[in-house]
Amino acid sequence: MTTKEMEVVRNLDVERYMGRWYEIASFPSRFQPKDGVDTRATYSLNPDGTIHVLNETWSGGKRGSIEGTAYKADPKSDEAKLKVKFYLPPFLPIIPITGDYWVLYIDHDYQYALIGQPSKKYLWILCRQPHLDEGIYNQLVEKAKEVGYDVSKLHKTPQADPPPESEDAPKDTKGIWWLKSIFGK
C-alpha cells in the first residue's frame, strides 16, 4: 500500500486551539512515564504570540509536569507546523530540547485532533474530553495509517472520569518520573 504524503492543517485558528487537550492515545515516549495516566496538555497564548505548553501526567498517584513553549516553524507559512521547546531536566532547566509538533488533522469544532511529526516517531490523538467516541478514534487511526504511521504502536492512555485536578494532586517534586522515563522504567 502506498502512503499519502503527510499534510498538515492549514490556517489553524490558534486561539480556538488554546485550552486543555486530553491524550486519548499516543506512541510511547521515553519522555513520559510508562505507567502514566490522565495525561493532558494545556495551551495558552503568550503575549509575544508564542504558546505556553503545560504537559501533565500522573504516575504512582503523583502529578508530574513539564512546561515549554511552542511557536510556528515558519512564521510566513499557513501550515500548522509548530516547534515545541522544553528544557531538561524540568526541575533544573539546563538543556533545551526542541521537537516538531504538526497538526495533521483537527475537526471543524476543534474538539479532537491528530498530532504527529515528520519522522513518524511520535503520534498523539487528542480530545477536549477525557474520552473519545470509538468511531472517531478509528477514523483518526486510519488517517495516521494513510500517511505511513505504524499504528500498531499506539497505546491508549487511561483517563479518569472525572479527570483529576492539578491543585489536588501530590506533586512529584523530585522529578523522579522524568529520570525513570529516561531509563525506560
Nearest partner of 17 among 144, 139, 118, 109, judged by Cα: 109
15-176 has CATH 2.40.30.30 classification: no
Report the 10 Å Cβ neighbour count for 183: 7
Tell me: pLDDT of 20 over 50: yes
Amino acid 74: pLDDT:
96
Residue range 73-86, pLDDT digits in tens = 999 999 999 999 99
C-alpha cell belonging to residue 26: 499516543
Confidence bin at 5 (pLDDT 50/70/90): confident
Residue 134 host element (H or E):
helix 134-146
Termini Cα distance of the chain:
35
| Cα–Cα distances in angstroms (integers) from residue 31 to residues 4, 35, 125, 153, 175, in the given order | 29, 12, 17, 16, 12
Mean pLDDT of the residues in the chain: 89
Band (179; pLDDT cuts 50, 70, 90): very low
Give the separation between CA 40 and CA 35, rounded to whole angstroms.
14
Residue 14: predicted pLDDT: 96
pTM, rounded to two decimals: 0.88
Domain boundary assignment for the chain: 15-176
pLDDT at 100 over 70: yes
pLDDT at 172 over 90: no
pLDDT at 57: 94
Band the pLDDT of 168: cuts 50, 70, 90: low
Percentage, residues of the chain above pLDDT 90: 70
* Percent of the chain residues topping a pLDDT of 70: 86
> Each residue of 117-150: pLDDT tens digit?
999 999 999 999 999 999 999 999 999 999 999 9
pLDDT grade for 170, boundaries at 50, 70 and 90? low
Q: How far apart are CA 164 and CA 142, in angstroms?
A: 30
